[in-house]
Amino acid sequence: MIKPHSSLAAALTALCLAASAAFAQTPTPAPSASSTPSVENKDVIPEIKTRGKLIVGCKYDVRLFGLNNPMTHRVEGFDADLGRAMAKALLGDEKKIELVETVSANRIPFLTENKVDIVISTMTITEDRKKQIDMSDVYYMAGQSLLVPKGSPIHSVKDLDGKIVTTVQGSTSEKNIQAAAPNAKFNLLKSYSECFTALGNKQADAMTTDDIILLGFKATAPDKYELVGGQFTQEPYGIGVRKGHEDLLKFVNDELAKMKADGRWKALYDKHLKPVSGQSIEPPQ
Ligand code: GLU
């Protein structure tokens, strides 16, 4: 018969062994939202060529960049046409594209979940985003600003204390405005067209995002609204590519460089953005 004290000793020995085994194990780092996902590099261009179309995430409600025309069902704008240029270069025909609507908050999940090949959706290149996806070289340089009704007492971010500001969830605009005007109240919505409606309905005193997006909305009612406060951030736009698809990232960057050099970038700028910016500019380097 085993004596009680020896069963206690056996239990303690077992506990010590288990504890030392646990310490001997290589610690597994807890997954964190900001940690770089480990992805295997894989050539994806052959798959896209077999499929015969490039799947591109794009805004559907942002004038100048990606606006779904309800009459023609064609998505119009700089980003949509940039996607068509990529499809033409890759597959020989700009019609070999499938556009998918992306709002700001789902752009990265759509890439990581393989729902789209690339995202061209007024997306600022940030260090945080580059931990989750790859981003191309800069294709447009914007800056955050404010849109207000004409005659508003708001002239800059300094006038936003206690005022309601609307912008979109998952955008840099959301983070930037919370840092620049911490005493404002925020009406965070899913899309920029919803923000513009909220501004029109007086559910917000100001709307904030990139100046070029605001100019597109202002152009629909130029007598009612104005941009104020200048650019208070820099927003370099890049094309999002899933991590590990290095062949596609290289293709996108090479094609962007060609478009900047051969006049196609400028033609897109002059067609979509110059009519509202009123400026003639060179492509970003
Ligand atoms: N460029 C900013 C961003 O990527 C604001 C515009 C947008 O939400 O698409 O977050």
Which class for 110: exposed (0-12), middle (13-18), buried (19 or more C-beta within 10 A)? buried
- Tell me which residue of 155, 152, 278, 146 sits closest to 224, measured CA to CA: 152
Nearest CA to ligand 1 atom 8: 171
Q: Fold identical between 45-141+237-277 and 144-233?
A: yes
Query: Would you say the CB of residue 145 lies under 6 angstroms from ligand 1?
Result: no
Would you kindly state where each structural domain of the chain is located, as residue ranges? 45-141+237-277, 144-233
Q: Are 214 and 202 in contact (CB under 8 A)?
A: no
**Beta pairing class for 61-62 and 75-76:** unpaired
Ligand 1 pocket residue status of 235, Cβ below 6 Å: yes
Indicate if ligand 1 lies below 6 Å from the C-beta of 209. yes
The best mutation among 78, 119, 172 to test binding of ligand 1, ranked by most ligand atoms within 8 Å of the C-beta, falls on 172
Mutate to test the pocket of ligand 1, among 141, 146, 210 (most ligand atoms within 8 A of CB): 210
Could you tell me if the CB of 176 is within 6 A of ligand 1?
A: no
The three-state secondary structure class of 211 is helix
Residue 124 beta carbon below 6 angstroms from any ligand 1 atom: yes
Q: Give the chain's length.
A: 285
- Residue among 128, 171, 217 to mutate when testing ligand 1 (max atoms within 8 A of CB): 171
Q: Is the CB of 68 under 6 A from ligand 1?
A: no
Q: Rounded CA gap, 263 and 16, in Å?
A: 72
Whole-number pLDDT of residue 38: 64
d(CA 240, CA 28): 29
Q: What is the pTM of this model?
A: 0.87
Kindly state the tokens that stand for 25.
Answer: 């194990």
Q: How far is CA 170 from the centre of its chain?
A: 8
Q: Provide the β-strand partners of residue 245.
A: none
The H-or-E segment that residue 119 falls in is strand 118-119
- The answer, yes or no, to whether any atom of ligand 1 lies below 6 A from the CB of 168, is yes
Q: What are the tens digits of pLDDT across the range 7-28?
A: 444 444 444 344 444 333 434 4
- Measured CA distances, 138 to 85, 123, 131, 236 (Å): 16, 10, 17, 6
Q: Is the distance from the beta carbon of residue 123 to the nearest atom of ligand 1 less than 6 Å?
A: yes
d(CA 67, CA 79) in angstroms, rounded, equals 10
- Containing 107, the helix (H) or strand (E) segment is helix 107-112
Given this model, what pLDDT does residue 37 score? 54
Strands 134-135 and 240-241: antiparallel
Interval between CA 171 and ligand 1 midpoint (Å): 5
Partnered with residue 148 across adjacent β-strands are 226
In short, whether 171's Cβ falls inside 6 Å of ligand 1 is yes
pLDDT for position 40: 81
Cβ(108)–Cβ(221) below 8 Å:
no
User: Beta-carbon neighbour count of residue 3 at 10 Å?
Assistant: 8
Q: Which two tokens stand for residue 143?
A: 């800056």
Q: How far apart are CA 238 and CA 120, in angstroms?
A: 7
**Does residue 210 have its Cβ closer than 6 Å to ligand 1?**
yes
Q: Which residues pair with 228 in a beta bridge?
A: 146
> For the chain, which ranges sit under pLDDT 70?
1-38
pLDDT digits over 141-166, tens only?
A: 999 999 999 999 999 999 999 999 99
The CATH homologous superfamily to which domain 45-141+237-277 belongs is: Periplasmic binding protein-like II (3.40.190.10)
* Alpha helix positions (H), 4-149: 4-24, 45-51, 78-91, 107-112, 127-132
Top-tier CATH class for 144-233: alpha beta
Q: Which of 61, 120, 138, 235 to mutate to test the pocket of ligand 1 (most atoms within 8 A of CB)?
A: 235
Residue 66 pLDDT:
98
- Does the beta carbon of 106 lie inside 6 Å of ligand 1? no
**Residue 57: its pLDDT value, please?**
98
Residues 174, 165: Cα–Cα separation, whole Å: 10
